[in-house]
Amino acid sequence: MSNQASDRLKQNVKKIMQRWEERARDEVQASMHKDSLVLQDHLPEYLDQLVDELSTRIDRTPARITADEIKSTRIGKKHGHERAGYADYSMNQLIFEYHILRQVIFQVLEEEAPLEVIERDIIISSIEQAVNDAATQFSATLREIQELFMVTLTHDLKGPLNVVKMGTQLTLRRLERGDTHIDVATRMIGAVNRLDSMIENLLDASRLRAGQSLKIEFEECDLDELVQEVAEDLRFAYGDRFVVVSDSNFRTYCSRKEIRRVIENLAINAVKYGSASTPIILTLQQTETQISLTIHNEGEPIDLDAQSILFQQFRRTICADDQTGWGLGLFLAKSITEAHQGTLEVESAEGKGTSFIIKLPKVSL
């Protein structure tokens, strides 16, 4: 391989970028309204790197090869990062930009003389790696932007929601018993609490996706008392369907707030998807090393295929498509349980109903 391709590329960088920009503006919708410097981005820097890759004058020691790979990856990632910052750019358009660049490079370089096979292979391999680096960074940056947006949005929603909640509670306290508006105010508080729970779920899911752990404060807990409290609150909202089975003292260390969220989520799911005419049974049991809480409902079983995605975030089974929520409840219930060094499992079969089983380690007090 000679240096002809490398020299021709170096001499024609401006020409290649001009042709590439003309085609990009015609064929890539997101590029139409960008100015030249913004559109070209880090591609000229990439072409300079490609000049070196085609050159035979460079002594390609292992150290030089490693340095070139690092530099190439950095350039591709910079391009992907920049493109992710524009709302009108998609992954497909980013990749298409590189396809156009490859075509233009071949066209310009072969206007003077055909490229050797090895030279074409170097260019193709380089473009493919650049696409991979740019696309990987594009996805990562897009996730970061979405996470920031979600955290900011949910945080900003908490303020006005708290005002509505406090105002409704104040109104409820001032209403006289028997007033027809009491039921309306109670329903409003219930709706606000559900919104508050959904916002909290989004914030926690964002933390988990960012690799952060949930903020859990452990304290001495009487699980029997906690389950009885949750069941009583649920009876007020959903009727006298909740039966608690417990015959022992279940004391351990846990976060009352977070375990309460888990129990409420699973019990409300039982209301949504279980048979409306049958009780929902919450059973506490323990061994020498473990405490378990089983939340059981009758009704149609959960398909095995659906069970495989049940605890994934933003995933909903077919039967859940008509229900409200983010598809985060079971994901967070599992995450909270695991943060307590426990497990959350599901058992569901025809004629046996559905059981969600929370297992927590028993701690000696």
Domain of residue 73: give its range. Answer: 4-142
Task: State the CATH number of the domain containing residue 73.
Answer: 1.10.490
What is the spatial distance between Cα 210 and Cα 213, in angstroms, rounded to a whole number? 9
pLDDT (tens digit, 9 = 90+) per residue, 114-149? 888 998 998 899 889 888 888 888 888 877 776 666
Within 88-210, where are the H helices? 91-109, 117-174, 181-209
Identify whether residues 22 and 87 lie together within a single domain. Answer: yes
User: The domain spanning residue 278 has which CATH number?
Assistant: 3.30.565.10
Q: How far does Cα 207 stand from its chain's mean position?
A: 10
pTM, whole model, 2 decimals?
A: 0.51
Model pLDDT for residues 81-114, shown as the tens digit of each residue: 888 777 678 888 888 888 999 999 999 999 888 8
The amino acid that residue 141 corresponds to is T
Q: What is the pLDDT, as a whole number, of residue 211? A: 59
Please report, in angstroms and rounded to a whole number, the separation of the first and last CA atoms in the chain: 76
- pLDDT for residue 157: 72
Cα–chain center distance at 40: 31
How many domains are contained in the chain?
3
Question: Within this chain, do residues 166 and 109 fall inside the same structural domain, yes or no?
Answer: no
**What pLDDT, on the 0 to 100 scale, is given for residue 282?**
95
**214 part of a folded domain:** no
Whether residues 345 and 267 share a domain: the answer is: yes
Lowest mean pLDDT among 113-117, 158-162, 242-246, 319-323: 319-323
What is the rounded distance in angstroms from the CA atom of residue 15 to the CA atom of residue 161?
A: 57
Last residue of a domain, one of 188, 209, 230: 209
Q: Is the pLDDT of residue 263 over 90?
A: yes
Q: Are residues 351 and 229 in the same domain?
A: yes
